[in-house]
Chain A
Amino acid sequence: MSEWLVDAVEADLDRFHLGPVDLALRPGQAVAVLGSSGAGKTTLLRTLAGFLPVRRGRILRDGTDISDWMPEERSLGYVPQGLGLFPQRTVFGNVRYPMELRGRHDADARTEELLDRFRLAALKHRRPARLSAGEQQRVAIARALAAEPELVVWDEPWQGLDVEARHELGLVLKDLREAERVPVVVVTHDPALAFSLADSFVVLDHGRVRFSGGPTDLLEHPSDAFVARFVGYENVYDRATLEAHRDRPFPAWLLAEAGPGGIAVGNPEVVPTTGVPSTWEGMVRSVRPSPDGLSVELAVDDLLVTARLPRPWPVTLPTVGERLRFNMARTAVRRLGEDGEEPR
């Protein structure tokens, strides 16, 4: 399997500018490209796949510059959003297609093999429109593998799947990178799914790289408020808000810790009584149950804090308007850089 290097690549689509983006992919590695809608994730993938010209920078495959190569020459399995299955072909015909192009004499046997591996044998005469979302997903990955790609690039793999199909797809992708050593780039706007697969992360926002690094780094040192919110920090405060409340004890404590982009705090907990140090009082705004406990939204003046009330749940759930105390551990406080600041 090849080694891929994306070196300061920039691309333009109409008025949208992407980059510079850097990526390094060794065999068996998986990168997740994260970002909200319109962040440039699909643009990045289409640039890698060769459908948009590289304006600046280079794409290297084993040291060879392939930035100008045609999409069909790149040995890159691009699975577009919606999968791009051939509607007029059967499952069998879809998976066989790449081998037909290469004139392989064992195309039929190889196709049967792939269909067996992805549990599609019983569906081989169906057309894609008559498959479930999970089945379509398996056809897409089988077809991509039939072309023996050196890199799989997948736009929103989990889209439209139910919980079970998501889990199964996760296993397929893991197998792809661990057993076959095919490097994988996936795009998603769901950080939880990205964490389940990838070992390295790129967060895009408005076409710019806001973060690039491993999972620990991403969670422990989110570079700015956007990234912190994106990976699931619920308590993110910018500097201006904190300064506006500097005369109150709670925000003042946070302000002392805040970086230029403000602050993010992980895991505040609702505590039972008074007398515990570093605790504050807030008024319950809403309560949301989850397997890990209750998620309670509290208002301290006009600042909102989301705190956890671990299981077992109390006999009577907190009610709106009730006053509760919560603590914030100094170790859970993350200092944030300026929004849009160049990543460290």
Chain B
Amino acid sequence: MSVGGGSSVRRRWRTGPYWLALQVALSGSLLLLLILPIVALFTYAPVSRIVAAAENAYVREAIGLTLYASGIAVLVTALLAIPLGYLLARRRFFGRSVVESLVALPVAVPHLMVGLGIFFLVLPGSPLYSFTNAIGFPVYDTIWGVVLVMAVVSAPYTVLASQLSFEAVDTRVIEAARSLGAGGATTFITVTFPIALRGIIAGLLLTWARAVSEIGGILILAYTIYPGGPYNGPVTNTISVYIYDLFQAGDLVDAAAVSSLFLLIAFALFLAVRIGERSGWLPWRRGDLTP
């Protein structure tokens, strides 16, 4: 922990040269594994093609739809997953381990299976098929299908993150608030939730990242997206399916160009959050929440 406001002292551990070399070699190898495929993408696609991709209406529609659907998925997840995380963190109930394992399941299996599961659930002719259509949430080849798959496969990250964050809130801080006159709900709103918020947001970021990158379930449930519900644009695909199509058609350069474009967008978003965290745009600073 840094000491004093602003005057943080940077400490270095004194270590032997071999130990240091081992650390650098191992973490360096992983970084290379992460960076090299990106480098390969960017070198395969000339800059002109990346710019062309950015100007292509179909690419823009696909990226727009992906961001739009993933945004809705994150909102839905926030609404449903945070309460479940709280429940798992604070209450002891029968079958808790079963629930915890169930929550982790969508992450652990190939997402094609998740898509298949939803596919069979809302098979044309099934009661749920008529029901979802009747209430205006048709799933097949609509944005709702995309949102549904995204939410199912990515909600576990937020459930887990909020569970851990709520568990990490010191009971004694909560008890102090109660003793100072705050009721149960007030304590949650003014103390527990704000303290857990940072971890929850980290979970929502992961959820968003996982939602954007989803393809398996979408291939089955919403390969082509027709206008409907909150989406009124032209017929399109998610960006993942779009790139998959380009690859299947043998258009490797365009596949690389669109991928590079999307990588840049994702990288910019993550960077913005990190910088915001450092510079105090966000309602917390590093170190504030860990006394």
- B173 touches which of A70, A71, A74, A87 (Cβ 8 Å): A87
Contact A71 B179 (CB under 8 A): yes
What residues of B have a CB within 8 angstroms of the CB of A146 in the complex? Answer: 180
Question: Is A129 in contact with chain B by the CB < 8 A criterion?
Answer: yes
Question: Is B132 in contact with chain A by the CB < 8 A criterion?
Answer: no
Question: Is A78 in contact with chain B by the CB < 8 A criterion?
Answer: yes
A179 to B195, CA, bound (A): 36
Contact A101 B289 (CB under 8 A): no
Nearest-CB residue, chain B, relative to A147: B180
Question: Is B107 in contact with chain A by the CB < 8 A criterion?
Answer: no
**Which of A77, A83, A86, A146 counts the most chain B CB atoms within 10 A?**
A86
Minimum Cβ distance to chain B for residue A160 (Å): 12
**Which of B175, B181, B287 counts the most chain A CB atoms within 10 A?**
B181
Contact B194 A88 (CB under 8 A): yes
What residues of B have a CB within 8 angstroms of the CB of A246 in the complex? Answer: none
Give per-residue flags for B159-192: 1 if the beta carbon is below 8 A from chain A beta carbons, else 0.
Answer: 0000000000010111111111111001000110
Question: Is B264 in contact with chain A by the CB < 8 A criterion?
Answer: no
Contact B1 A129 (CB under 8 A): yes
A50 to B289, CA, bound (A): 27
Question: Is A51 in contact with chain B by the CB < 8 A criterion?
Answer: yes
Contact B284 A72 (CB under 8 A): no
- A86 touches which of B178, B191, B290 (Cβ 8 Å): B191
Give per-residue flags for B268-291: 1 if the beta carbon is below 8 A from chain A beta carbons, else 0.
Answer: 000000000000000010011111
Question: Is B95 in contact with chain A by the CB < 8 A criterion?
Answer: no
Question: Is B5 in contact with chain A by the CB < 8 A criterion?
Answer: yes
Question: Is A79 in contact with chain B by the CB < 8 A criterion?
Answer: yes
Contact B172 A77 (CB under 8 A): no
What residues of A have a CB within 8 angstroms of the CB of B291 in the complex? Answer: 85, 87, 128-129
Question: Is B4 in contact with chain A by the CB < 8 A criterion?
Answer: yes
What residues of A have a CB within 8 angstroms of the CB of B176 in the complex? Answer: 78-80, 83-86
Contact B288 A71 (CB under 8 A): no
What residues of B have a CB within 8 angstroms of the CB of A74 in the complex? Answer: 179
What residues of A have a CB within 8 angstroms of the CB of B195 in the complex? Answer: 86-88
A25 to B176, CA, bound (A): 22
- A87 touches which of B4, B190, B289 (Cβ 8 Å): B289
- A72 touches which of B4, B181, B288 (Cβ 8 Å): B181
Contact B175 A88 (CB under 8 A): no
What residues of A have a CB within 8 angstroms of the CB of B181 in the complex? Answer: 72, 98, 101-102, 147
Give per-residue flags for A31-50: 1 if the beta carbon is below 8 A from chain B beta carbons, else 0.
Answer: 00000000000000010011
A80 to B171, CA, bound (A): 10
Minimum Cβ distance to chain B for residue A235 (Å): 39
A85 to B284, CA, bound (A): 16
Contact B5 A84 (CB under 8 A): no
Given A72-B178, A72-B179, are A84 and B288 neighbors across the interface (CB < 8 Å)?
A: no
Question: Is A127 in contact with chain B by the CB < 8 A criterion?
Answer: yes
Nearest-CB residue, chain B, relative to A136: B291
What residues of B have a CB within 8 angstroms of the CB of A143 in the complex? Answer: 180
Give per-residue flags for B124-143: 1 if the beta carbon is below 8 A from chain A beta carbons, else 0.
Answer: 00000000000000000000
Nearest-CB residue, chain B, relative to A76: B179
A76 to B175, CA, bound (A): 12
Interface residues of A (CB under 8 A from B): 46, 49-51, 70-72, 74, 76-88, 97-98, 101-102, 126-130, 143-144, 146-147
Other contacts beyond A77-B179, A86-B195: 6, CB < 8 A:
A49-B175, A74-B179, A87-B290, A88-B194, A130-B4, A146-B180
Sorted nearest first, the 8 A-B pairs with minimum C-beta distance are: A84-B176, A80-B172, A78-B179, A71-B178, A129-B291, A84-B172, A98-B180, A84-B173
Interface residues of B (CB under 8 A from A): 1, 4-5, 170, 172-183, 186, 190-191, 194-195, 284, 287-291
**A-B pairs with beta carbons under 8 Å apart, 16 shown:** A46-B175, A51-B175, A71-B178, A71-B179, A77-B179, A79-B176, A80-B176, A85-B291, A86-B173, A87-B288, A87-B290, A88-B195, A101-B180, A127-B288, A129-B288, A130-B5
